[in-house]
Structure 1
Amino acid sequence: MAHEAVLSFSYDSPEQAARVADSIDPELGAIDDDRSSVRSTRDGADLELLVEARDPVALRAAVNTWCSLVSVAESAGQIE
């Protein structure tokens, strides 16, 4: 895909990062389409999402979606 963005999130503990990662994992692959996809990696207290898209509009939409999903996961787990 022609466009990509890396979303990096750092937490106070590996447990917090794992909680957020576990919360968004069911969505990985489920909301991918022919215009965008995402992969996640976690290293200790750091979570990273690589968002790839065919065009800038799809990239913006995917980034907005994943930022929202992470925000909801953080709120649900009371992570700030």
Structure 2
Amino acid sequence: MHSILIEFEFGDRSKLVYESLKPELQAIPSERSKIELDVVGDQLNLFISAEDIISLRAAINTWLRLVKISEDMFKLKE
């Protein structure tokens, strides 16, 4: 099993980014990887685990892209 924890510091936007990504947890079911997303204070934590390194890399790429898009959308609103 392979895993990674990625921590994002968005300040007061962490909860907003989390809420915007939460539906994706159900929308992208995968048998090859498991995603956990939570907020601790001003920090968004993304934990990804996968059976193999290829699945881990694919999940990391997908979720980093989703987080980036979500953050960019909130910046546009300012």
Please report the TM-score for the alignment, with normalisation by the length of structure 2. Answer: 0.90
Partner of residue 46, structure 1:
43
The gaps in structure 2 that reach 5 residues or longer are none
In structure 2, what is the Cα distance between the partners aligned to 1:45 and 1:12? 5
Give the % identical residues: 34
Over 2 Å off, 4+ runs: none
Asked if structure 2 preserves the Cα contact closer than 8 Å seen for 1:29 and 1:37, the reply is no
User: In the comparison of the two structures, how many residue pairs are matched?
Assistant: 76
The gaps in structure 1 that reach 5 residues or longer are none
Higher helix share: 2
The RMSD of aligned alpha carbons is: 1.3
Match of 1:18 among 8, 15, 21: 15
Please report the TM-score for the alignment, with normalisation by the length of structure 1. Answer: 0.88
